[in-house]
């Protein structure tokens, strides 16, 4: 979908998050009306998850249903900025810059 893999209803510590992309350390929460009464608990939960290196994005159910494109754009942007850059593979022996450098003789003549 966005080039990243999300897990649904994924446990992280004592919490079960709605969606998690472990590669990007990104959590998506989709909240219904019950979260209006538990805003302080959600804030503490988000703080704990943030302290573990996760970014938590929260959206209301209605927001997801009515403005799906906007929600997806926010998720995609967050995923792209948090995605680790791919490692550059090491060159195979005989194909790297190091092999073009002449070795200097050492004190033992080796």
Model confidence over 61-94: pLDDT tens digits? 999 999 999 999 999 999 999 887 766 666 666 5
**Residue 56 pLDDT greater than 60, yes or no:** yes
Q: Which of 62, 63, 110, 53 is nearest to 84 (CA)?
A: 53
**Residue 19 pLDDT greater than 70, yes or no:** yes
pTM above 0.75, yes or no: no
Distance CA 40, CA 52 (A): 19
Whose structure tokens read 């791919």? 86
Which strands make up the sheet holding 7-12, listed edge to edge? 7-12, 15-21, 26-31, 55-60
Q: Residue 24 in contact with residue 59, Cβ under 8 Å?
A: no
Distance CA 5, CA 106 (A): 51
**Residue 105 pLDDT greater than 70, yes or no:** no
Q: What is the pLDDT of residue 90?
A: 61
């Amino acid at each position: 979908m966005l080039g990243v893999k999300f897990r649904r209803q994924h446990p992280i510590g004592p919490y079960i998050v709605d969606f998690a992309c472990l590669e990007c350390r990104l959590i998506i929460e989709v909240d219904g009306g019950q979260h209006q009464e538990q805003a302080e608990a959600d804030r503490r939960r988000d703080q704990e998850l943030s302290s573990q290196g996760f970014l938590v994005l929260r959206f209301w159910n209605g927001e997801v249903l009515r403005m799906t494109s906007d929600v997806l754009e926010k998720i995609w942007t967050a995923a792209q900025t948090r995605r680790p850059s791919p490692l550059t593979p090491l060159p195979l022996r005989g194909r790297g810059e190091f092999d073009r450098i002449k070795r200097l003789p050492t004190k033992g003549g080796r």
